[in-house]
Chains A and B, each alone.
Chain A
Amino acid sequence: MEEGRTGPKPWPGAAEGAPVVETRGLTKRFGAQLAVDGLDLVVPRGSVFGFLGPNGSGKTTTIRMLMGLIEPTSGTARVLGEEMPRGTRRVLPRVGALIEGPALYGFLSGRDNLMRFDAADPTADARTRRARVGHALDRVGLTSAAGKKARAYSLGMKQRLGLAAALLQPRELLVLDEPTNGLDPQGMREIRTLVRSLASEGTTVFLSSHLLDEIEQVCTHVAVMARGRLLTQGTVGELASSTRGRLAVTTPDTAEAVRVLKEHGVNDLAVLDDRVTGELPAGPATELADLNAALVRADVRVRAFGTERASLEDAFVALTGEGFDVAG
């Protein structure tokens, strides 16, 4: 990153894989309330970065600081190598954003809405505007409704039009704040497909959501926020594996199985019908094969044996200790 700065490249260290977003101690205070508290976020180039957190955890405030809409109280936010909000003019033409839902001019058609947002970008070429707008509409599947007034759009259509506005130019970074809000399951699938295809073209996608399975399905990296603080960040795999899975044994001899497993240090044992589940002991990994052998030696008839993989949801609950809709 340091050596990249000396080169004549339009943004420092792009090819070296410098982070697309990097914040240091980013803090925003609204009056007495600390909305974002000392955030150190790193979004690697080329990632699909899931930004998770309950409602009111500071996700949107962070995104607004990254987009130069609000000024940090302290700390720095660098986007595409430049500090925000100072670099707004150079950075934002390379960033497409959908922030806190779409906002449209109801009295204009979908197409004219996009024409207006494109006209606001000083780097956008007016000669190619109509073609680029048409392409963006096509990409989100709105071509047939492009002539309709935006006030007649459903929430899902508005969401798509907002996405189209983010896709008016080839972007290096897409910031999508709750992009599947208000979409039906089919629409959600389409958006996920779109995100994947954009990512495969090399666009870094920063996706905020409170829907865990959404993040799990499309993201490579994830950061979790709660009450204005960053709880963790890393790859989706790392986060899920940081939570230990549970051992599950299916057997008709549940009482005996519980006894044997307890002897081998398995905690929190629970029996449901013919299933025994329990938490594997901490410390050096217990060899699962040895446990199985011990069960069989004790004449426990084992029908199924294995660990259940921890989901992102388990990881999240372990981190925040709360449900998703509890505001921080």
Chain B
Amino acid sequence: MSRAEAADAGATAAPAPAPAPAAARRWGLSLLLSEVTTTFRRWRTLALLGVLAAVPILIGIAVKIETGGDGGDGGHGGGGPAFISQVTNNGLFLVFTSLAATLPFFLPMAIGVIAGDSVAGEAGSGTLRYLLVAPAGRTRLLLAKYATTMAFCFAATLVVAVSALAVGALLFPLGEVTLISGTTIGFGEGLLRALAIAAVVALSLVGVAALGLFVSTLTTSGVAAMATTVGLLITVQILDQFPQLSAIQPYLFPHYWLSFADLLRDPVYWDQVLRNLGLQALYAAVFGSAAWARFTTKDITV
């Protein structure tokens, strides 16, 4: 009797591996999609994006008030960011100003929160063990987590850029863009350059994202991982300020961040931009591998 049942069980379960080839096409997609929607449905993610969207609004209003509400003369060059004096002439410059203002801290902090929580948060709440016995596969899950963090990098940058463009268009005139090198380009090309800058800014965050993911595999406390990642970011930003440390500074991930301004030259200076992207790729490779090595051998005891 029990033998017959056992054979039955074998027969009914036998077709189970059959749909595998069909499922292979969706190998990464299902999990990635679930990962992205889960992350973006979190109240915390939306709050972070909300804060990022508020930054350009604050800068725009501050500039508007400071210049007496009239965009006539904007040529007062203070010690502020390079583009801020241009904002009153052209709202598009609010995009560059906002990205320059959020890139050193706001953006990487938001990434640090998302990346730091990605694995550690699930480990802490116990959902990680259920994903792993599903079985999500450790490498596959880590890739999905990293891809989702990258998606957040782009989303966060885009939120800043779009919010800045909207505020800029609302408060200031739009028009031809005078580049740093003095040449003038049309508004359409200016918009394209803004898009390219947003892309470079998003890619500048690849390094922090990988660092955060690695930290996230070290602990089962999401809060600890977030705090560590943000703490590391602040430390590295401070180290990048001391002239005495100039020997190591070219290897610090934020060192070339503000080089995105070189995309506003004619011709574009690619040197520092490429160095930035190369450095980010290096960080992604090193900390990505470290995260993989750690996560694939880790005992999941929570």
Report whether chain A binds chain B. yes
Q: A residues near B, CB below 8 A? A: 9-10, 14-15, 17, 45-46, 64, 67-71, 88-90, 92-95, 97, 99-101, 103-105, 107-108, 115-126, 162, 165, 169-172, 201-204
Residue from the list B41, B130, B297 in contact with A108, Cβ < 8 A: B41
Residues of B within 8 A of A169 (CB): 16
The yes or no answer to B196 lying at the interface (CB within 8 A) is no
User: 24 interchain pairs (CB within 8 A)?
Assistant: A15-B10, A17-B3, A17-B6, A46-B2, A46-B9, A67-B132, A68-B133, A71-B297, A88-B137, A89-B135, A93-B135, A95-B133, A100-B129, A103-B126, A103-B130, A107-B41, A120-B30, A120-B31, A120-B130, A122-B24, A126-B30, A172-B13, A201-B9, A202-B5
Per-residue CB contact flags for chain B residues 74-109 toward chain A (1 = under 8 Å, else 0) read 000000000000000000000000000000000000
Cβ < 8 Å to A, chain B residues 178-231:
none
The yes or no answer to B19 lying at the interface (CB within 8 A) is yes
Q: Are B19 and A92 within 8 A (Cβ)?
A: no
Q: Are A89 and B137 within 8 A (Cβ)?
A: yes
The yes or no answer to B65 lying at the interface (CB within 8 A) is no
Q: Are A99 and B26 within 8 A (Cβ)?
A: no
User: Closest approach, in angstroms, between the C-beta of A178 and any C-beta of chain B?
Assistant: 14
The yes or no answer to B72 lying at the interface (CB within 8 A) is no
Residues of B within 8 A of A117 (CB): 130-131, 134
The yes or no answer to B289 lying at the interface (CB within 8 A) is no
Interface of A is mostly: loop
Q: B residues near A, CB below 8 A? A: 2-3, 5-10, 12-14, 16-17, 19-20, 22-24, 26-27, 30-31, 33-34, 38, 41-43, 125-127, 129-137, 140-141, 297, 299-301
- Given A45-B6, A88-B137, A99-B129, are A119 and B33 also a contact pair (CB < 8 Å)? yes
Residue from the list B2, B23, B42 in contact with A125, Cβ < 8 A: B23
* Closest residue of B by beta carbon distance from A91: B135
Residues of B within 8 A of A162 (CB): 130
Q: Are B130 and A94 within 8 A (Cβ)?
A: no
* Closest residue of A by beta carbon distance from B22: A125
User: Closest approach, in angstroms, between the C-beta of B32 and any C-beta of chain A?
Assistant: 9
Residues of A within 8 A of B5 (CB): 46, 202
Q: Are B297 and A120 within 8 A (Cβ)?
A: no
Q: Are A92 and B134 within 8 A (Cβ)?
A: yes
Residues of B within 8 A of A124 (CB): 23, 30
Residue from the list A10, A15, A97, A100 in contact with B126, Cβ < 8 A: A100
Q: Are B22 and A104 within 8 A (Cβ)?
A: no
Q: Are A94 and B16 within 8 A (Cβ)?
A: yes
Residue from the list B13, B125, B133, B141 in contact with A97, Cβ < 8 A: B133
Could you tell me the distance between the alpha carbons of A172 and B16 in the complex, rounded to whole angstroms?
Answer: 10
User: Closest approach, in angstroms, between the C-beta of A303 and any C-beta of chain B?
Assistant: 42
Could you tell me the distance between the alpha carbons of A71 and B33 in the complex, rounded to whole angstroms?
Answer: 30
* Closest residue of A by beta carbon distance from B16: A94
Q: Are A69 and B133 within 8 A (Cβ)?
A: yes
Q: Are A120 and B134 within 8 A (Cβ)?
A: yes
Q: Are A123 and B10 within 8 A (Cβ)?
A: no
Residues of B within 8 A of A204 (CB): 9
Closest 5 CB pairs of A and B: A103-B126, A202-B9, A119-B34, A120-B134, A92-B135
Residues of B within 8 A of A64 (CB): 129, 299-301
New A-B pairs, 17, CB < 8 Å, besides A45-B9, A99-B129, A118-B134: A64-B301, A95-B133, A103-B125, A103-B129, A104-B125, A105-B127, A108-B38, A117-B131, A122-B136, A122-B137, A123-B23, A165-B130, A170-B12, A170-B13, A170-B16, A172-B13, A204-B9
* Closest residue of A by beta carbon distance from B42: A107
Q: Are B131 and A120 within 8 A (Cβ)?
A: yes
- Given A10-B17, A122-B27, A126-B26, are A68 and B34 also a contact pair (CB < 8 Å)? no
Residues of A within 8 A of B16 (CB): 10, 93-94, 123, 169-170
Could you tell me the distance between the alpha carbons of A172 and B6 in the complex, rounded to whole angstroms?
Answer: 10
User: Closest approach, in angstroms, between the C-beta of A70 and any C-beta of chain B?
Assistant: 4
* Closest residue of A by beta carbon distance from B34: A119
* Closest residue of B by beta carbon distance from A203: B9
User: Closest approach, in angstroms, between the C-beta of B7 and any C-beta of chain A?
Assistant: 5
